Amino acid sequence: MLCVLVPRHRELGRCAHAKRIDLAVRPARGTALIAGELALPAAAESGALPEVERLLSNPATNPNVQDAFGNTALHNASRWGKTKMVEALLRAGAVVTAMNQEGQTALHCASYNGHREVVETLLRAGANMAANDNNGRTALHHAARNSHTAVVETLLRARANTAAKDRIARTALHLACGSGDKGSVEALLRAGADVAAKDYAGKTPLDLAMQNHLCMVPELVALLQGRGRR
C-alpha cells in the first residue's frame, strides 16, 4: 500500500548514535511489544510531537523500528507533513533511506502527499531521489502523478532524474500528463523531460494527455507538441 491517508507501512543498516542501544532498521519483535517498541511509529502516525519527543528522550528507544507494514516513525511523520517531527526523528538517528514493504522511503511518502517542507528537510538529510519503490517509481513520479507541482519543482531543483522510468516504462512526464497537471508538465519540460519517451505500450506523454481527455486543454497539448518538434 502506498504512503497515503491510511498508513500501510526496508533499508538495511545502522545509524550511529552514542546514547542509543540499537538503531538498526528492523521490525518490532512480537505483538507483545506494541505498547513498547511500536509506540514511536504510533505516536508519529497520530501526529503527537510531544509524545514522539518524550519517547526519543529515552536512550533505549529505537527511532528506526518498523511496524507490521515496514513503516518507521519517519515514514509516518513524512506522510502527514510533520516537519518538526521529521527533524526530531532525524536528530535522533532515523535512517532517511529506510524502506517499507512497498519499497517506499520517507521521501516517497512526503512527495506522494505534497509536503514540500518535509521533502526539503529529507533532501538536506541525504534522502535518495533515485530510490525506486516496488512499482519502480521515484519520488518525482509520485509528486507528478498527484499534481504536486511545488514538490516536483523542489525535486527538479535538486536534480531529480526526469528520465527515470517505472515498471511500465513511464516517466514523471507521462504521469503528469495523465493527471492533467499543467504546472508539473511545464516544470518537467523546462528540466528537459523527453516528450517522445514511450512506455511499454508505446504511448508517449502526449498520448496519455489525449487519452485522458486533456485535448480539452489546448495550451497543454500545444506545449507538448511544440516541444516535441524541437
Cα R_g (the chain), whole angstroms: 19
Q: What is the CATH number of domain 1-128?
A: 1.25.40.20
Q: How far apart (Å, rounded) are the C-alpha atoms in residues 205 and 158?
A: 23
Name residue 156's amino acid. L
Q: What are the grid coordinates assigned to 15, written together? A: 545509524
In this prediction the pTM is 0.84
pLDDT in tens, the chain (230 residues): 456 533 333 332 322 333 333 455 655 544 434 557 899 999 999 999 999 999 999 999 999 999 999 999 999 999 999 999 999 999 999 999 999 999 999 999 999 999 999 999 999 999 999 999 999 999 999 999 999 999 999 999 999 999 999 999 999 999 999 998 889 999 999 999 999 999 999 999 988 988 875 555 676 777 777 665 55
Name residue 144's amino acid. A
Q: How far apart (Å, rounded) are the C-alpha atoms in residues 77 and 73?
A: 6
Q: How far apart (Å, rounded) are the C-alpha atoms in residues 117 and 174?
A: 25
